[in-house]
Structure 1
Amino acid sequence: MSSADPVPNRPNRILMATDLSARCDRALDRAIQLSGQWQVPLLVVHAAPREAIGAWSAMETLASIRQRIGRELQGDVADADIHVEEGEPAEVILDVARREHCDLIVLGDTSELPGRRLLGNTVETLVRSSPTSVLVVKRRPRGAYRRVLVGTDLTPESRHGLDTAVALFPRAELTLLHALDIPYESLWLDPARRADLNRMEMATIEAFVVEARLPADLRSRMQLLVEHGHPESMLRRHAMEHDSDLTVIGAFRRGLAFHLLVGGTTRRIVQVAPNDVLVVRAPVQPDARRPAESGSA
């Protein structure tokens, strides 16, 4: 990392979004755990769709929803700041995160639920367009993250993801995996060429780690892997085989063309990963600051 690069720090504030479903309990527990581990404030937000307010007004007002969330937090983080606002979930979450200067948004994964509830599409929207990092929680927390899998495509964005993983989880077992999808690999790669390619790929990822300027002790114990196949498939397989707690990937907002050709990989990784996924939003590079580039992961 050059001296001009921003050094990733721990979040100053965590925003946890809930639709009050049971699935969000896992995300709440993880947000509470991270808030305590990093000693940073926790905010909880719930968005009540405008069309539902009228139907709920006789039974559950915004104030009563706030009280319900407060009861769930009692004994864990009694001083958490609770926001219950009317509006579309993604819009409310982004507005509160921006207004309250939150550095990390924590969401529960609802992709396996019938109908996916309100938060299902919200996860996709935030992964695609949130200017801050997003943690999608799938597993019930069992303490701090112990085994962290970092995906890289050797871009500056993925290096920022690695730097952030190291800064946030310095005691975890870290694995850096670079996946290459080589068309018709078996047709043109004989054993000798495959061996040469493997050596070249390993040298490349080792150089990538050197450029990241990680602490020597961490670099010596970090596992480096190069796999051939679709990134989402390789990351999923490794996470399942090695019981990784968390997958970390770096991304930042780019234009529509990038999103259609490359950026969809981020969404697919979030969808198929069996563990929690942290999408680290890297700073926008100078050559990406153009009005036409509205934002895609």
Structure 2
Amino acid sequence: MGTARFRRVLAATDLSRHGNRAVGRAVRLARLHEARVTALCVVSSRQDADVRDQVRERLASHVRQYAGGSGVDVVVRVGRVSPTVALEVEHCAADLLVVGAHGEDRLGDALLGTTPENLIRSSRAPVLVVRGPPGGDYRTVLLAVDVTDSSREAARCGIALTPGAEHYAVHVCAVPGEHLLRMHGVSEEELSQLRDVCLQEVRPQVERLVGSLASPVPPHLLVTTGSPAITVAELGELHGADLMVIGTGARSKLEHAFLGSVAQHVMRRVRCDVLVVREARR
């Protein structure tokens, strides 16, 4: 995969506060990348035409608020949220899907009533989960990396999306079976030695991966030990990250297990926005 390009951004909103932030962030990113935005709201087939018209007007109002009504397509679709959003990603050939962290309003089933995790599972495009208000461009971006190709592509996507930000590439090395080792009497001193060995083995691999990102300004490299989900979130707080970037596995019958690991836990722990990039199906 080459450098990620963002020409079409889809913002899926439930018209709640967080959903509206997604629209605002999508518009800001689109201006940065000279892309076009589609603002989407999905309503249930149980809603009558009057409700759908209300949803369309509210959505148009939010678009006018964030974009002055220009350069944004307003779309209301009928159906189940996750599959309908996924179809719209395909229909408009979106390079990025932007969603709010969670919904708050209750306009019947017109809401984006599923979790961002479900949208990540169903979307072929990277998914940006927005928590913070879109007051400015991203300034500090933490790239959670391991030594896989999917991790490299996620990091490249995050760098391409935020060209003006300061980037930190973070790898957290966990000792395999550390909890069980502790239960079986392995001392903290011995565990510390195992962590040091783990760091020595993995650091050169992570350095090579970061060196292959071809970023104009190489990311700062942070390699440490701990629980990946917990430590990544803590490092994000420590460095004041306003965006976290993480890759996750390809679509398969084990989708829930893939997203149920580090990516899911990081997304639920951090307070900043999160960009999740799925590995492309081979």
Q: Same fold (TM over 0.5)?
A: yes
What residue ranges of structure 2 are gaps of 5+ in the alignment?
A: none
Instruction: Tell me if the contact between 2:81 and 2:113 (Cα under 8 Å) persists in the aligned partners.
Output: no
2:90 aligns with 98
- Deviation string 1:122-147 (CA, Å, 9 cap, x unpaired) is 41211123111100001112311110
Tell me, in whole angstroms, the C-alpha distance in 1 between the residues paired with 2:20 and 2:93.
24
- How far the C-alpha of 1:13 sits from its partner, in A, is 0.5
Q: What is the match of residue 223 of structure 1?
A: 220
**Aligned twin of 1:255:** 252
The question of whether the paired residues in 2 share the 8 Å contact of 1:129 and 1:253 is answered with no
Q: Which amino acid aligns with 2:128?
A: L
Structure 1 position 199 matched with structure 2 position 200: yes
Please state whether the residue corresponding to 2:102 is helix, strand or coil.
Answer: coil
Q: State the match for 1:284 in structure 2.
A: 281
What amino acid is the match of 1:244?
A: A
Given that residues 169 and 220 in structure 2 are in contact (C-alpha distance below 8 angstroms), is that contact kept between their aligned partners in structure 1?
yes
Question: 1:114, CA displacement in angstroms?
Answer: 9.7
Structure 2 equivalent of residue 289 of structure 1:
none
Match of 1:244 in 2: 241
- 3-state SS of the aligned residue for 1:15? strand
Residue 40 of structure 1, aligned match among 30, 35, 41: 35
Q: Which shifted more, 36-45 or 229-238?
A: 229-238
- Give the direction of change, closer, same or farther, for the CA distance of 1:35–1:191 in structure 2 (3 Å limit): closer
Q: SS where residue 256 of structure 1 aligns? A: coil
CA offset at residue 37 of structure 1? 1.0
Q: Distance in 2 between matches of 1:192 and 1:204?
A: 20
Q: Write out per-residue CA displacement over residues 91-139 of structure 1, whole angstroms, 9 at most, x where no aligned residue.
A: 221111111111111000117x599x94352412111231111000011
2:124 corresponds to: 131
Q: Distance in 1 between matches of 2:191 and 2:265?
A: 31
1:70 corresponds in structure 2 to 60
TM-score (norm 2): 0.85
Of 73, 85, 97, the residue aligned with 2:77 is 85
Aligned to 2:10: 15
Residue 83 to residue 131, structure 1, CA distance change in 2 (3 Å): same
Could you tell me how far 1:201 is from its partner in structure 2?
2.7
Secondary structure at the aligned position of 1:218 is classed as coil
- Amino-acid identity (%): 28
Hey, what's the Cα distance between the residues in 1 that align with 2:80 and 2:199?
Answer: 48
Letter in 2 for 1:241: L
| Cα distance in 2 for residues equivalent to 1:153 and 1:77 | 41
Cα distance in 1 for residues equivalent to 2:77 and 2:15:
13
Q: Name the CA distance, whole Å, in 1 between partners of 2:33 and 2:61.
A: 23
The equivalent of 1:146 in structure 2 is: 139
Specify the code of the residue in structure 1 equivalent to 2:88. Answer: V
CA distance 1:208–1:67, shift in 2 (3 Å): same
**1:107 and 2:99 aligned:** yes
Alpha-carbon spacing, 1:192–1:70, altered in 2? closer, same or farther (3 Å): closer
Rounded Cα–Cα distance in structure 2 between residues aligned with 1:237 and 1:270: 13
Alignment of 1:163-202 (within 5 A): 163-182=156-175, 183-184=177-178, 187=186, 189=190, 194-202=195-203
Residues 165 and 22 of structure 1, relative CA distance in 2, 3 Å threshold: closer
TM-score (norm 1): 0.81
Name the CA distance, whole Å, in 2 between partners of 1:114 and 1:22: 8
1:154-165 → structure 2 map (5 Å cutoff): 154-165=147-158
Deviations 1:133-188 (A, max 9, x none): 10000111231111000111211101001111222222211111112322337736
Per the TM alignment, residue 197 of structure 1 is displaced from its structure 2 partner at its CA by 3.7
How far does residue 194 in structure 1 lie from its aligned partner after superposition? Answer: 4.5
Unaligned runs of 5+ in 1: 1-5, 286-297
Cα RMSD after superposing both structures: 2.4
